[in-house]
Amino acid sequence: MFLSLPIVINLLLYITLITVTSAKFIMHKQWILAGCSSGLVYVYRYEPEKKKSVEKIRVLQGHSNAINSLAVHSTKPCVLSASKDGKILIWDYENEWELMKTFDVKSPVQHVAFSPKDSNMFASAQDKTVKIWDWHSGNCKSTLSGHSDLVLCLDYFSQGDQLYLITGSRDKTAKIWDCKTRSCVRTLEG
């Protein structure tokens, strides 16, 4: 679902003084999430049938620096917010946006994603690594090392039952990681 230009303009009128650094849409709730340079996450209700189709319903406070990434779990009522403050927060949107857990990565977090297959989440930080965390227990299960510069983005894909992670870095490479063995299976250059 794409938002029309008037709706996007309407949304931006709410946050004109703050740079939006990450945005997500929770389809079944009709919510827009906007992570900002202020460290706040704004939650908007999107109702296209109403005259005022975008309404701010919540502001999430918990970070002390800019939001770099947001992630929405595909089946659980959870949202990740990752920040330059070195923290990842998990929010429960079915429980009044309760802050469920805080992960202290100790390095500015660039990008986060939930695993679609288990209780893992992936986080890239300025230390050139990707950490795999169990978001239920709070334990860091593994660190993926191999990039020589900042890991800017990550995503996952499946082939059958096998889950892979792909990372993109300022070192001008993308790497494909086997999530089971935690090893790099391919490096893509140029």
CATH number of the domain within which 145 lies:
2.130.10.10
Number of domains in the chain: 1
pLDDT attached to residue 5: 57
Nearest to 111 by CA among 165, 163, 58: 165
Q: In what order do the strands lie in the sheet with 151-159?
A: 151-159, 162-169, 173-178, 183-189
pLDDT attached to residue 52: 72
pLDDT attached to residue 3: 58
pLDDT attached to residue 16: 53
Task: Provide the residue-wise pLDDT of the chain in tens; the chain has 190 residues.
Answer: 555 655 555 555 555 567 899 999 999 999 999 999 999 999 999 887 777 788 899 999 999 999 999 999 999 999 999 999 999 999 999 999 999 999 998 899 999 999 988 899 999 988 999 999 999 998 999 999 999 999 999 999 999 999 999 999 999 999 999 999 999 999 999 7
Q: How far is CA 52 from CA 7, 8, 33, 124, 155, in A?
A: 9, 12, 17, 37, 34
Could you give the CA distance from residue 96 to residue 170 in angstroms, rounded to a whole number? 38
Range of the domain at 105: 5-189
pLDDT attached to residue 44: 94
Amino acid (one-letter) located at 5: L
Q: Is 9 helix (H, G, I), strand (E, B) or coil?
A: helix
Predicted TM-score (pTM) of the model is 0.87
